[in-house]
């Protein structure tokens, strides 16, 4: 009620006697506030009308409520109109036409292009400012509507205003790009890469371009069929359907074989028998001793078995399965000599050999058996590597010296003195004399195509075949280095193969390794391939 009504009410109370004042105030308030359709009740600072049975809606100002509901509907229509004006604005239409259509645009790409368009972002800020004004007006109307209808039997009808966020507009742009093949555009779902269309227009989905990105995604979309890939990322191959699938290198067996035909038990049996079928085609060379001749152990004696493959077997590689040596000792006091073995995989200098760790870290050790045939004290020494410890070999270096437990004089020089059986009678009591009756390397040879590997190396500079060539070289390197001797890190046998069997220069080998390293880093889940350098 207004202030004048309050003054009049107070004046009337002053004129009335005390016993009539409460009844009068009740009647006056009921008449004024409830239109004589009920009586006024107040409790806890809040007053309302207790309606008569004939007037159940006396608490509801229906006309006022209808006016507010209509005003809220108009505010909702204004917000819808602002959104429509924004979508039809020159800034929005220009942005939509400028978007690339040769590849799929995900939300992050659209957001980046949106933020880079200054005209569009300014127009969107105007839309937001207009919405904030409508939202403030709508909230005031809703609060008044709720207060008026608090004691009504019917709840008021209104809809809350909701702002279309910038994320909504990004998704809406996707729908306009890819789901507008019909009159009514559908809704694009990036997770399923498809459209949800309306019942009236079920064929809203248009051509959705391919996705460009890393890994199995396209590196470039086709201009003829945008839904298909035109090219793929490193490590993937383009199929006839325009998809990118992981590249699988061709078998490297045509370039280089590594597998034998015998099982380990068969290899061990033949090695213990020193069967000639397993004997490798290696020549014995030594300047310190001769086979079958007694010689005096003094200092270090050097022997080697070499295949001379570049001369005799240019299209074969050799794998070492075991070693055998027949050693005879003069005198009962002669101790077994110490034998150290180095293996050179593909040729080159002695420094490009690795030490064979016989008897260390689970590696096989020499097996020694006595053989008294002919009356001499002889031993058969056999080292069985088998398939587990097999490795490439071109030359095997043997170094023999007196056992370290024997006393040696400092500065003792190597002796090249040897003698035959008939002249040994006066030296039989000398424990320093020994004799080597046989020294053999056992293994098998595998095919090797140097021209084909050189062809692969040349293809890494050709754009059309570069990726396939690198994949096959990578597989070939893996197979060669797999037969590296035991150690914390594999030896780089592959570089030795290129250097000495393919006769490549150091620069060529370095270029190939650099290309392989770069290619590996570009592959999915690529990691650094680390090896220990063996060859210069």
Strands 377-384 and 316-329: antiparallel
Q: Give Cα separations from 181 to 89, 166, 177, 197 (angstroms).
A: 22, 24, 9, 10
Q: What is the pLDDT of residues 194-210, one digit of tens each?
A: 999 988 888 899 888 99
User: How many whole angstroms from its chain centre is CA 211?
Assistant: 19
pLDDT at 297 (0 to 100): 78
Q: Is 206:181 a contact under the CB 8 Å cutoff?
A: yes
**Which of 29-38, 195-204, 356-365 comes out lowest in average pLDDT?**
29-38
Burial of 347 (0-12, 13-18, 19+ CB in 10 A): buried
Give SS3 for 92: helix
CB atoms within 10 A of CB 353: 22
The residues with which 46 forms a beta bridge, in sequence order, are 43
Q: What is the pLDDT of residues 131-145, one digit of tens each?
A: 999 999 999 988 888
State both tokens at 121.
Answer: 């972002």
pTM over 0.85: no
Buried b (16+ CB within 10 A) or exposed e, 256-294: bbbebebeeeebbebbeebeeebebebebebebbeeeeb
CA 74 – CA 80 distance, rounded (Å): 10
Q: Which position has the token pair 């509907």? A: 73
User: How many whole angstroms from its chain centre is CA 346?
Assistant: 34
pLDDT at 416 (0 to 100): 45
pLDDT at 519 (0 to 100): 84
DSSP secondary-structure letter at 224? Answer: S
The residues with which 325 forms a beta bridge, in sequence order, are 381, 439
Angle at 107 (CA atoms; ends 105, 112), nearest 5 degrees: 85
Give the closest residue to 160 by CA, choosing from 170, 148, 146. Answer: 146
Q: Which position has the token pair 């152990």? A: 297
Q: Is 335:398 a contact under the CB 8 Å cutoff?
A: no
**With pLDDT > 90 as the criterion, what percentage of the chain qualifies?**
34
State both tokens at 126.
Answer: 């105007």
The residues with which 371 forms a beta bridge, in sequence order, are 378
Instruction: Output the CA torsion 285→287→289→295 (10° steps).
Output: -170
Phi/psi of residue 418, each to 5°?
-140, 160
Count the residues in the chain. 536
The residues with which 396 forms a beta bridge, in sequence order, are 305, 343
CA 252 – CA 475 distance, rounded (Å): 7
pLDDT at 60 (0 to 100): 78
Q: What is the pLDDT of residues 347-357, one digit of tens each?
A: 989 899 999 99
Give the closest residue to 437 by CA, choosing from 383, 487, 376, 496. Answer: 376
Average pLDDT of the residues in 89-98: 94
């Amino acid at each position: 009620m207004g202030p004048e009504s309050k003054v009049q009410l107070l004046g009337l109370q002053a004129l009335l006697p005390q016993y009539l004042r409460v009844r009068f105030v009740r009647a006056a308030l009921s008449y004024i506030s409830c239109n004589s359709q009920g009586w006024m009740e107040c409790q806890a600072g809040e007053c309302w009308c207790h309606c008569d049975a004939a007037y159940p809606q006396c608490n509801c100002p229906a006309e006022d409520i209808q006016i507010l509901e209509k005003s809220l509907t108009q505010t909702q229509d204004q917000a819808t109109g602002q959104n429509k004006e924004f979508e039809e604005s020159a800034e929005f239409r220009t942005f939509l036409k400028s978007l690339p259509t040769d590849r799929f645009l995900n939300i992050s790409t659209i957001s980046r292009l949106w933020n880079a368009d200054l005209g569009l972002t300014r127009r969107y800020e105007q839309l937001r400012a207009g919405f904030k004004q409508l939202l403030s007006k709508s909230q005031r109307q809703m609060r008044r509507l709720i207060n008026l209808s608090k004691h009504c039997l019917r709840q008021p009808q209104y809809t809350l205003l909701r702002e279309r966020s910038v994320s909504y507009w990004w998704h809406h742009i996707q729908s306009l790009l890819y789901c507008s093949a019909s009159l009514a555009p559908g809704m694009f779902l990036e997770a399923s890469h498809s459209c949800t269309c309306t019942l009236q227009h079920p064929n809203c989905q248009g051509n959705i371009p391919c996705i460009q990105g890393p890994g199995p995604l396209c590196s470039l979309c086709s201009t003829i069929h945008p839904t298909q890939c035109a090219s793929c990322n490193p490590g993937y191959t383009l199929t006839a359907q325009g998809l990118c699938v992981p590249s699988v290198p061709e078998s490297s067996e045509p370039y280089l074989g590594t597998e034998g035909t015998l099982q380990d038990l068969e290899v061990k049996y033949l090695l213990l028998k020193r069967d000639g079928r397993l004997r490798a085609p290696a020549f014995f060379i030594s300047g310190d001793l001769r086979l079958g001749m007694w010689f005096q152990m003094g200092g270090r004696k050097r022997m080697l078995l070499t295949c001379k493959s570049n001369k005799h077997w240019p299209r074969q590689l050799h794998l070492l399965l075991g070693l055998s040596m027949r050693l005879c000792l003069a005198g009962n006091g002669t101790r077994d000599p110490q034998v150290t073995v180095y293996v050179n995989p593909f040729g080159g200098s002695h420094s490009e050999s690795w030490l064979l760790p016989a008897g260390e870290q689970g590696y096989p050790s020499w097996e020694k058996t006595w053989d008294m045939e002919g009356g001499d004290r002889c031993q058969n020494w056999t080292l069985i590597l088998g398939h587990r410890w097999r490795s490439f070999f071109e030359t095997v270096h043997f170094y023999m010296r007196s056992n370290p437990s024997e006393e040696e004089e400092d500065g003792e020089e190597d002796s090249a003195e040897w003698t035959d059986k008939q002249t040994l009678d006066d030296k039989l009591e000398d424990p320093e004399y020994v004799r080597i009756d046989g020294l053999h390397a056992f293994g098998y040879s595998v095919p090797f195509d140097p021209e084909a590997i050189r062809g692969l190396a040349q293809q890494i500079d050709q754009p059309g075949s570069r990726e396939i060539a690198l994949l096959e070289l990578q597989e070939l390197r893996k197979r060669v280095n797999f037969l590296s001797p035991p150690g914390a890190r594999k030896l780089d046998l592959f570089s030795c193969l290129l250097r000495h069997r393919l006769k490549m220069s150091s620069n060529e080998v370095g270029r190939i390794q650099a290309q392989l390293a770069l290619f590996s880093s570009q592959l999915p889940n690529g990691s650094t391939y680390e090896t220990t350098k063996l060859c210069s």
